[in-house]
Amino acid sequence: MAGTTSVATQRSASKLTYFFGALGGLLFGYDLGIVAGALLFIKPDLGLSPVQEGLVVSSLLFGAAIGAIGCGPLSDRTGRRWVVLLAAAIFGAGAIGAALSPGADALIFFRFVMGLAVGTFSAMVPVYLSEIAPPEIRGRLSGLNQLMISTGILVAYLVNLALSPYGAWRLMLGLASAPAIVLLVGLTFLPESPRWLVKRGREDEARAVLGRYREAERVDTEIEDIKQVNRQEEEQLGLRRLLRDPRLRRLLLLGVGLAVFQQIVGINTIIYYAPTILTSLGYGNSAAIIANAGLGAWTVFITIIMLLFVVDRIGRRRPLIFGAWGMVLSMVVLGITFFSAGIQGGAAGWIAIACLVLFKASFSLSWGGIMWIMLGEVFPLRIRGTAMGISSFCNWAANFLVGLTFPILLAAGTGAVFFVFAAIGVLASLFAFFVVPETKGRSLEQIESRLALGKGSA
């Protein structure tokens, strides 16, 4: 009976850790989804100029880029858990400040503050989950981050639907503080990453943490694996050494490539502009917003399918390859639809919805979640925080670049924009085929030995 109770307690602790560890992704997703609806009411209420409107959106992206690259070295020194906890506090304060902003300047500032936290979540949540999860289900658990992001976007769409009749943009923004407070409280009860603890010489604490998530006979083996890698790589590398080492530079380029391609295949144009695409094809505003909420629910469903049946069964590499081709197909058909049908309704509208459904499914089964999972896997322990920060910075910089150039591409013709993203999707598939290794089912130490120490591909 005692053994059964111990196992039940272990499973309960594991579920709580994985839930709270991934909750930062919900904050990330909520903020991505809420701003498009809120802007409809912020603009007239605060009298935003076009430049200020752009800054309200892009200030968060700029803050996220800074937060992502700054949190890596900090987490290598102070621990993963404390950095995520600090980010939760910053996000909550930023959300309340944004909701109470008396003018555009204050709103832009608090959006920047929230961005610092969002960038930290994007870099640290996958690292924390990958370092604490068992190898055989690491992909599924690390992918909880993407599920939370998708759920956050869906929640934002539903909040937009509920509060839009009242123009309550302050409440839209301020509600983000609620899950931030939940995360802040939950993190106070979570353990530190066992791999970080071993690296800092706190082996007894690491052993206690692993004992909460592993069978007793596996703890000693895993501790020894981590210590062996630490002995092989005693030196904590800085950025300059990282860039000089050819093997580590190759891994950094792998991470940066994954991060950049995830953003430039066109996902943010779908998140932000799906209603615009649908209204341009003849749908009314209400119908477009409802359809967008439906796409959000579809994304959550497909992300669950990815976690349960793809990432730990099929793997990482093949979904990246074939998912990119699904996105290419949807973008090509969208482009043809706009060139042939213009802004006419009827069949063109249904074809557009089918393309958006296919794109969302292809992205959610592949680059949406698997990119973040792999970033938590492919970097050696001694540079994991720093390299993750650099990759996340590039992810946010690419996000900012897409947002900056989309209006220019749109001016060249909506159909042309979709063909550009289709071409990028082809490049993403080729990158996955020729560069990305398979990491399914291997411990982080096995992956590190094969990749970072030059013992062959994973």
Q: What is the DSSP string of 295-343?
A: HHHHHHHHHHHIIIIITTTT-SHHHHHHHHHHHHHHHHHHHHHHHHHTT
Residues, the chain, total?
458
More confident call, 25 vs 45: 45
**What pLDDT shows up at residue 241?**
65
Whether the domain at 1-190 and the domain at 239-458 fall into the same CATH topology? yes
Q: Worst-scoring range by mean pLDDT, 218-222, 297-301, 356-360, 412-416? A: 412-416
Quick check: pTM over 0.75? no
CATH code: domain 1-190 is 1.20.1250.20
* Model pLDDT, residue 3: 45
Mean pLDDT of the chain: 79
**pLDDT tens string 144-166:** 777 888 888 888 888 888 887 78
Residue 110 has pLDDT above 90, yes or no: yes
Banded pLDDT at 457 (limits 50, 70, 90): very low
Q: What is the torsion angle, in degrees rounded to the nearest 10, for the CA atoms of residue 444, residue 449, residue 452 and residue 456?
A: -120
| Residue 135, C-beta contacts closer than 8 angstroms, at least 6 positions apart | 441, 442, 443, 444, 446
pLDDT at residue 458 in the model? 47
The correct answer on CATH 3.10.520.10 for the domain covering 239-458 is no
- What is the reported pLDDT for 47? 86
Q: Across 39-48, 169-178, 385-394, which has the greatest mean pLDDT?
A: 169-178
Residue 298 has pLDDT above 80, yes or no: yes
**Contact call for residues 118 and 134 (beta carbons, < 8 A):** no
User: Residue 92: in which H helix or E strand, if any?
Assistant: helix 80-99
Distance CA 126, CA 136 (A): 16
**C-alpha torsion angle, residues 88, 93, 95, 101 (rounded to 10):** -170
Comparing 98 with 447, the larger pLDDT belongs to: 98
- The dihedral of CA 427, 428, 431, 432: what is its sign? negative
pLDDT tens per residue, range 411-448 = 566 667 888 899 999 999 999 999 888 887 777 667 76
In this predicted structure, the answer to whether residue 2 has a pLDDT above a threshold of 50 is no
Contact 28, 123 (CB under 8 A): no
Domain boundaries, the chain: 1-190, 239-458
